[in-house]
Amino acid sequence: MGCFIVLEGPDGTGKSTLLRGIQRELEQTNLKVKYFREPGGCRLGEKIRALLLDPELEMAPATEALLFAANRSENYAQLKKDLRDYDLVIADRFLLSSLAYQGEGLGLGMDRVLQINDFALQGYRPDMHLLLLLDVEEGLKRKKKQKVLDRLERRKEEFHRKVTEGYLKLEKSGKYNIEIIDAGRAPEEILDHCMKVIGRFIPANHEEEIL
């Protein structure tokens, strides 16, 4: 069975850059690796993503949480198969995003959001989370530099503050395997830290390739 590792973090913490770095590093190994993103990740998921990010659409918080959970249900069905075929599956966001953004950020409550996700995931949990965290103000500054913001990025600073608090609560709860990555450091240092963590989850016969 392969391992499932998830990249998480508030907006503007450099997740996309990190993901490209991880991809580059893993391409140099013989590991079979699959990547997917949320929202999105499959044909149905990409359609749900378009609904979720559409700046013209308004939706109730519960609808939003259910759409993310529906997307995740579809990805989980695929993930179960992929973990048999791949050494590693890496996701750009998963369950903890919903707990932090919809649970804490939108105020739906992490427990309630967990319930609908547990229906989608049948209680399944990823093997590891790499959680990029940055000073909230710095993250918002970085995000504002982007020209076109989608529906979810337009939310107020207060929302994004709560999201970071949500992630911190999840880490403190000790219920999820979370490694906090300091997103304020140089990109090479961040990548190095993440590759060390990923190295702990790859099959023993591939360890030399990565370390």
Which residues contact ligand TYD by CB under 6 A? Answer: 11, 15-16, 38-39, 68, 92-93, 97-98, 101-102, 152-153
CA angle, residues 205, 208, 210, in degrees to nearest 5: 105
**What is the DSSP-derived secondary structure letter of residue 99?**
I
**Min dist. Cβ of residue 153 to ligand TYD (A):** 6
CB of 102 to ligand TYD, least distance (A): 6
- Other C-beta atoms within 10 Å of 17: how many? 14
Taking the least distance from each CB to ligand TYD, the nearer of 4 and 68 is 68
In a 10 Å sphere around its CB, with 0-12 CB exposed, 13-18 middle and 19+ buried, how is residue 154 labelled? exposed
- What is the spatial distance between Cα 66 and Cα 38, in angstroms, rounded to a whole number? 13
CB of 167 to ligand TYD, least distance (A): 11
Choice between 2 and 39, CB closer to ligand TYD: 39
Nearer to ligand TYD, 93 or 129 (CB): 93
User: Which of residues 159 and 201 has its CB atom nearest to ligand TYD in the complex?
Assistant: 159
Choice between 49 and 87, CB closer to ligand TYD: 49
Closest distance of CB 13 from ligand TYD, Å:
8
Smallest separation (angstroms) from ligand TYD to the CB of 36:
11
Of the chain, the end-to-end C-alpha distance in Å amounts to 21
The HSE-up count of residue 167 (CA atoms within 13 Å, CB side) is 27
Tokens coding 2: 């392969």
- Contact assessment for residue 177 and residue 129, using Cβ atoms and an 8 Å cutoff: yes
